[in-house]
Amino acid sequence: MKLVITNLTKTYKNGVKAIDNLNLEIGTGMFGLLGPNGAGKSSLMRTISTLQSPDSGSIMFGDINVLEDKMALRKVLGYLPQSFGVYPKMSAEALLDYFATLKGIGSKTDRKAIVKEVLDITNLYDVRKKHVAGYSGGMKQRFGIAQLLLNNPKLIIVDEPTAGLDPAERHRFLNVLREVGTNCTVIFSTHIVEDVKELCNDMAILNGGRILKQATPSQARAELQGRIWTKVIDRDDLEAHEAQYNLLSSNYNEDNSLNIRVFSDNQPNEDFKSVEPQLDDVYFIALKQDEPVSAV
Amino acid sequence: MFSTIFFYELKYWAKRPATYIYMAIFFMLSLFMAATTAGIFDSITATTGSSRIVNSPMGVKGLFNGLAILIFFLFPSIIGASINRDFKSEMHSILYSYPFTKANYLFAKFFSAIVVVTLIVMTIGVGMFIGFRLPGTNSDLIIAFDIKSYFNAYWLFILPNILLFGAIVFAVVTFTRNIAAGFITVILLLFVQGVTESLLSDPDSRYLAGLLDPFGESASAYYTSYWTVFEQNEMHIPIKELILYNRLLWLGVASLVFGLVYKFFTFSQNAMSFSLFKKVKGERSIKRNFGGITKINLPKVSYDYSIIQNLKATWKISNVEFKYIVKSWPFISIVLVGLIIVFIALADVGNPYGTTTYPRTWLMLRGGSAFVFAINICTFLYAGMLVNRSKIANVNGLEDVTPIPNWSLFLSKFIAIVKMQILLLTVIMVSGILFQLYKGYFDIELGLYIKELYGLKLINYVVWAFLALSIQTLIRNPYLGLFVLLVISIAIPFLSLAGVEQAVFKYNEGPGFRFNDMNGYGDSLANYLTYKFYWVLGGLVLMLIAALFWVRGLPHSFIERLMIAKARFTTPMAITFVLILGGFLTMGYTIYNATNINNDRYSSKEVEEMTVDWEKTYKKYENYAQPRIVGVKVNMDLFIDNRNFESSGEYAMINKTDTAIDSIFLNHNDYPSTFKFSRENTLVSEDTLYNFDIYKLKEPLMPGDSMTLNFTVKNKPNTFLVSNSPIIENGTFINNFQLFPSLGYNGGELTDDKTREKYDLPPNKLKPHPSDSTALGNTYISKDSDWIDFEATVSTSEDQIAIAPGYLQKEWVEDGRRYFHYKMDSKILNFYAFNSAKYEVKKDTWNDVSLEIYYHKGHEYNLERMMDGMKASLAYNSENFSPYQHRQLRIVEFPSGGFAQSFPNTIPFGGDTGFIAEVDDSEDGGIDYTYAITVHEVAHQWWAHQVIGADVLGATMLSESLSEYVALKVLEKELGKQQMRKFLRKSLDDYLLSRTFERKREKPLMYNDGQGYIRYQKGSLVFYALSDYIGEDVLNGALKTYVEKVKFQEPPYTTSIDMVNHIKAVTPDSLQYVIKDMFETITVYDNRIKNAKSTELDNGKYKVDIEFEVSKYRNDDKGKQLFSEVGRDSISYLPEGKTKPILSLQLKDYIYIGIFTEKDVDGTMKEEQLYLKKHKVTAIDNKITIIVDEKPTEVGVDPYNKLIDRNSGDNRQKL
């Protein structure tokens, strides 16, 4: 099933246009929504998840008109917000049972079976009797996935799920997500380019409420083949290079020199070496092109 | 850093709308209350007539303090939240690493919050100031603005209270990081205050109570609780030692609490936690860091989104919510403290004079109403907690995207609240049963518990739950919501003051119900349930509106919520809404129709105007000659099943005047009636509003001529919501004044002179002075008759016994009805009653008098005591005064009312008044009031039914004070003098307290206006003291001569002057002053022991040196103190080191000096009297030396409190 977003706009009371006439089409599989902090990712995901209403536009998931028939979407939706809490003094098992009830599972045995399964999947079975409020960040995030799975969702929306997780937790989390994402649409927002590279078969870059670019990760990299150049410079030369070239990123080396990456159709000069394009480059190029042209 | 944080906080509050909402609420409330007490609504409702100045220092303090208590409920969210906010926003993790000191941080936070609270409190003062002076307030109730009144109330009471309670809340919330905890603390503190106040309420512990009351109320009450109206209006609250000690004590506690916060507060990440159990030993924990690729194969489960499933889910969610409530410790602590309160209330309910009542189930349920506040608070609080629960826990992002419908979420919260209410009601039942078992009482009516708690009470709380959930849903801030709900629930009853009198306009108001053993709930339930059903519909309307505004997801503005609400108002929703609203309005209209259109209902304003109109139209006939009723024959048929009565009767009347009577003024009620005179007449004026008809006789009734009036009276049929008949199913008790016509204008005028002035009526002197010889033509019982012949036939249903005064002539059954024919063989007052119920009868005799008690089956507990009381009273009265005029005496039980009343040979006696008293006959037990009331009522057969005063001032002294005197004397013989001290101290305390509520004037005993506190309490004190001064035999001898002279007399009737003259005649000259002090004036003593010491003499005896003060003053009828009799003849004494002399009237008084010791009697220390003699006192300051045989432990001046003294506590001193 396809998620089709057309002309979506949302302006907040303080005048911020969080979503700006946005159009997007998302098919089955993992979809990465990449964007810096404040790009409007959460606003977009909350809007798709029926938590807030847009000013205008439409969202269709298959033949469900999301804005008109929120209940229909909620039946097939799995949503994990950027930050969430849990009720104190409730164990994972009790809380999942509670969510299973909310999600329409009437039979007690059914609830038991599915709660056990999602606890297994997320590796929480051993701590199922413990209060969720006492979980570590990674465990809590896995609990978030567990509750999301209860209604066997067709559309999964996860908002910056890997922020703050240690490498082991992050991998485990992404693996589970990948696993569940094979047969449905998973929208996955992040500002970590790495996540998208590892997981997604489609992606979009969002900033200022607009889609700057939509492509598959490999396709996006392929587009840049032969147009990314790198050079090692002194720290003091940075400003000059910035002015002269289309500078994408710069990293310090151990000897305090800088590694810079530059976007250019041709080799800027012989000091530059051609490098394999990375997803980071795609991201920075998209953001750079969207930047307001400042008076020079 | 202090000022940075301090001003940052103030700015924060200045930007919050809540600050201004709170200010506005307090301003409006205080404005409303002040303006209302000052009579601003007098134009639309009844006049606020009173001799009380509303903005006197006492008045200002009362209102200011009362409203300021409400602000305590804001402490958690203002003072408590000041630090908690930093935790909640997780600012603390950054903030606490900054370089400011703990002192800076804590003081700045605390004092900025105190400033905010203080500013909100100020609006109360401003609101009051303006409210008192709004145009339209009654200037007679207002005195000039005095800043000192506000200032004293503020710095002496309100500000220290804010600091104390603020510090406690600050501490609790800071350490628990839980605003609800702070809130519960406030409630607990209020509860605890209530408990200590009721535990320390007896006069002996008032000093202690004054010291310990954290609000300082009891401390100021220690000085002011006996203040007369004059003093309340004029005087500032004295800033005396106890008030200062109390304030210092509690300020000290506040500093201590704050000091503890300072000591234990650390800039740390985690809240303090308290654990009842030992800390579990820490374990090193490592999580698994590897592995985790799993095949996902979710089991096939079925998803069901049907209504049935949603309903099931609703129930299941409500269980989760319910568990949350029950496990939360605010709830647990409210329940625990509530239980304590209930137990105290149960131990205290229905215990007059320290005698307990058998713990009948209905009494337990009444005591359980102490829990009402707890249930309401829980409802208001947890409605807010549940509505906002997912938002507070930040679970709404997960919950709101599930396919559960809104109604299911909303409904589940409602169900959870109702479950909580059921649990709380169960607490009442369980504590009631436990209390009954603890008392060894096994007649537990489980069915009654269940019916009342789960049937009747629950519906009332459910209606509150509707409102609570609706308000909390709309407001979305649980503490603001709670505050608004509290204000609403407190304010609703006050709407009557603003002219909104009918329950149909006031949320969840309506008629109540009351259970008694005889008649159960009577007919009260239908009305109660009708109103409750009406309010359930009203509550549902609110719930539907709130459901439209239920927040799902994250709406950002009010406009957005409005748009969503509009979208949710779909056709099915609209239809439901219209149906329920229609039902609500239809029912409201039906109720309004039944009570207003089909029934004559008058607002209190209309009643007031009608009273004026009545007086203006008909008072002119007051002295118009009328015949006197000399004989009454009635048939009274009581139809129990449909609660109707039909009666007919005949009055025999004689013209006892020496002029011809040309018109009869017939004063009747609005029962359908017919009247027929034996003489030809024309009805010249018929008044269907006041039911005052004038019949002009064709031939005037000449002096000595007689005529008859035949009448029939029945009730209008009882209709829906309106009962037109006083008949009840079991235990009817009605008297002739309620039913039958009388002759002539019979008063019933407005008494407040300021109100009268408003309507151009002359000042009311209430009653003529007894020296007015023209005013002695009527008794104070009736104006149309003297002594009558009486005969009555009463019929009732076959299973009941009907009773009227007189002797039973015949009893028969006819057509399934039971008839009783009673006839009196001697003259009685025109005052009789009818009783009917399913009675059991107990019989006995005393000399030739047959004694009977008609009682409700199951109420056998005290029948012996009543019999003994009848006998003892018959004996005392007939020995000391005159023979008993009847051959029979009957006590007849009626359901409830807390009183008994004496009719000729018949005494209706309240079923809740003595029948179920659990008398403790041991020396420590309370007063046997069953016995005392019986003696009192029997004494009325003499003191009212033989000696009846003219309808002038002081008439009730001849009946009530004397009956009370007889009761005391009989009781004294039964219990001994020691026990009398308890009774007298209670009478003294009751007298002194009740007179402070006087609305018009207090006159001396022999000129009293009939107030209960004068005729009972003061009367009993005075006659008891008098019998002590001149001797019981001498007093009774004088009374005997008096009775001989005046009993069964025809007009002119006797007066208090007549009786007092008889007493004066036997009083020695040296004690004539006692008569003047006690009867003719209001005289108050101030006696105290200053110093006392005892030294053992060589002969083994003890020399006791006593220094004591005696002074007395008179009160005028407003309570102003007067120290001189004629001119400036007062005496004075300046104690050492004082600047103000003690003043007194001239003294030639005989005052008891007593010396006591303690003896061990069977393990307990008992007081024993070593010396008790009257000493003549002529000066204020006195020193005497007395030798006693044993080692004394205590001395006293007037040690048994026989004299009226406002500080009876300093009359004794331990050595």
CA distance B928 to chain A (A): 55
Confidence class for position A82, pLDDT limits 50, 70, 90: confident
Residue B774 in this model has a pLDDT that exceeds 90: no
Write out pLDDT tens, residues A139-168.
Answer: 898 899 899 999 999 999 999 888 778 888
CB contact A132 to B (< 8 Å):
no
Contact of A104 with chain B, judged by CB distance below 8 Å, is answered with: yes
Q: Give B419's pLDDT tier (boundaries 50, 70, 90).
A: very high
pLDDT tens-digit readout, B1023-1055: 999 999 999 999 999 999 999 999 999 999 999
Question: Average pLDDT in the B632-643 region?
Answer: 95
The verdict on a CB contact (< 8 Å) between A71 and B305 is: yes
Closest residue in A to B299 (Cα) is A114
Across the interface, whether the CB atoms of B287 and A121 are under 8 A apart is answered no
CA nearest neighbour of B910 among B891, B938, B926: B891
Q: Which of B931, B928, B940, B893 is nearest to B912 (CA)?
A: B893
To test the contact with chain A by mutation, choose from B319, B396, B401, B409 the residue with the greatest count of A C-beta atoms within 10 A, namely: B401
What ipTM was reported for this prediction? 0.92
In chain A, the residue whose alpha carbon lies closest to the alpha carbon of B559 is: A13
Confidence of residue B1058 (pLDDT cuts 50, 70, 90): very high
Confidence of residue B337 (pLDDT cuts 50, 70, 90): confident
**B819-839 pLDDT tens trace:** 999 999 999 999 999 999 999
CB spacing of A87 vs B397 below 8 angstroms: no
A121 touches B at CB < 8 Å: yes
pLDDT-derived band at B273 (thresholds 50, 70, 90) equals low
Q: In B388-487, which ranges are E strands?
A: none
Nearest chain A alpha carbon to B306: A104
pLDDT digit string (tens) for B701-737?
999 999 999 999 999 998 888 889 999 999 999 999 9
Helices (H), chain A: 41-48, 70-76, 92-102, 108-121, 137-149, 167-180, 193-199, 217-223, 238-244, 279-290
Say what the pTM is.
0.89
Which chain A residues are closer than 8 Å to B399 by Cβ? 99, 102
Q: Which of A77-81, A245-249, B1061-1065 has the lowest mean pLDDT?
A: A245-249
| Inter-chain CB proximity B296 and A99 less than 8 Å | no
pLDDT at A294 over 80: no
Cα separation, B546 vs B538, in Å, equals 13
> Chain A: residue nearest B292 by CA?
A172
Provide the pLDDT confidence category of residue B258 given band limits of 50, 70 and 90. Answer: confident
Maximum Cα–Cα distance across chain B: 122
* pLDDT for the residue numbered B198: 73
Q: Is A16 on the interface with B (CB under 8 A)?
A: no
User: Is the confidence at residue B758, as pLDDT, over 70?
Assistant: yes
- Looking at residue B655, its pLDDT comes to 95
For residues B1075-1085, average pLDDT? 95
Q: Tell me what pLDDT residue B346 has.
A: 80
Pairing of strands B628-639, B785-797: parallel
pLDDT at A296: 40
The CA–CA distances, whole Å, from B551 to B116, B396, B477, B561 equal 31, 10, 12, 8
pLDDT at position B209 is 86
Q: Which of A74, A121, A144 sits opposite B402 (nearest CB)?
A: A74
B1040 touches B881 (CB < 8 A): yes
Task: Tell me which residue in B398, B400, B552 faces A147 most closely, judged by beta carbons.
Answer: B398
> Is pLDDT at B156 greater than 70 in this prediction?
yes
Describe chain B by its helix, strand, coil percentages, rounded to 5: 50, 20, 30
Which whole number is the average pLDDT over B1107-1133? 90
Which tens digits make up the pLDDT trace of B287-323?
Answer: 665 555 667 778 888 899 999 999 999 999 999 999 9
Taking the Cβ of residue A152 and every Cβ of chain B, the question of whether any pair is shorter than 8 Å is answered with yes
Three-state SS for A34?
Answer: strand
| DSSP per-residue codes, A110-134 | HHHHHHHHHHHHTT-GGGTTSBGGG
CA distance B159 to B730: 55
Out of A267-271, B361-365, B410-414, B557-561, the most confident range is: B410-414
CB contact under 8 A, B301 and A113: yes
Task: Give one word for B649, left, alpha or beta, with left for phi > 0 and alpha for psi -120 to 50.
Answer: beta
Mean pLDDT, range B1019-1025, rounded to an integer:
94
- A294 to chain B, closest Cα gap in Å: 34
Q: Is the pLDDT of residue B276 over 60?
A: no
How confident is the model over B1090-1110, as a mean pLDDT? Answer: 93
Confidence label for B1154 from pLDDT (cuts 50, 70 and 90): very high
Location of structure tokens 């919950």: B399
Inter-chain residue contact B560 with A180, CB threshold 8 Å = no
Of the candidate ranges A187-196, A273-282, B338-347, the one whose mean pLDDT is the lowest: B338-347
- Please report the domains of chain A, with CATH numbers, ordered by start residue: 3-221 (3.40.50.300), 226-276 (no CATH)
Question: Are B52 and B229 a contacting pair, CB within 8 Å?
Answer: yes
CA–CA distance, B793 with B635 (Å, rounded to integer): 5
Average pLDDT over residues A59-88: 92
pLDDT for B338 equals: 78
CB contact under 8 A, A110 and B294: no
Residue B420 has pLDDT above 60, yes or no: yes
B1131 vs B1124: CA distance, rounded Å: 8
Q: Which residues touch B460 (CB under 8 Å, ≥6 apart)?
A: B508, B532
Q: In this complex, do B401 and A53 lie within 8 Å of one another by their Cβ atoms?
A: no
In this prediction, residues B930-947 reach a mean pLDDT of 95
**In one letter, which amino acid is B911?**
G
Q: What angle do CA B1139, B1145, B1147 make, to 5 degrees?
A: 110
Residues B1144, B1136: Cα–Cα separation, whole Å: 17
Look at residue A239 in the predicted model and tell me its pLDDT. Answer: 86
* Domains of chain B with bracketed CATH: 2-264 (no CATH), 307-597 (no CATH), 623-746+784-830 (2.60.40.1730), 1082-1215 (2.60.40)
- Could A89 and B327 be called an inter-chain contact, meaning their C-beta atoms sit closer than 8 Å? yes
Partners of A79 in beta bridges: A157
Tell me what the mean pLDDT of segment B958-963 comes to: 96
Helix, strand or coil, per DSSP, at residue B682: strand
Amino acid present at B875: A
What distance in Å separates the CA atoms of residue B816 and residue B377, rounded to the nearest whole number? 53
pLDDT, mean of residues B362-390: 89
Using CA atoms, how far apart are residues B931 and B914, in angstroms rounded to an integer?
8
C-alpha span between B832 and B810 (Å, rounded): 19
CB burial string B754-768: b at 16+ within 10 A, e below:
bbbebeebeeeeebb
**What does the pLDDT read at residue B569?**
92
Which pLDDT score, from 0 to 100, does residue B328 have? 84
Q: How many CB atoms lie within 10 A of CB B770?
A: 25
Candidates B293, B295, B401; nearest CB to A49: B401
3-state secondary structure of A72: helix
Residue A260 has pLDDT above 80, yes or no: yes
pLDDT at B298: 82
pLDDT per residue over B778-797, tens digit each? Answer: 998 888 999 999 999 999 99
What pLDDT score does A295 carry?
40
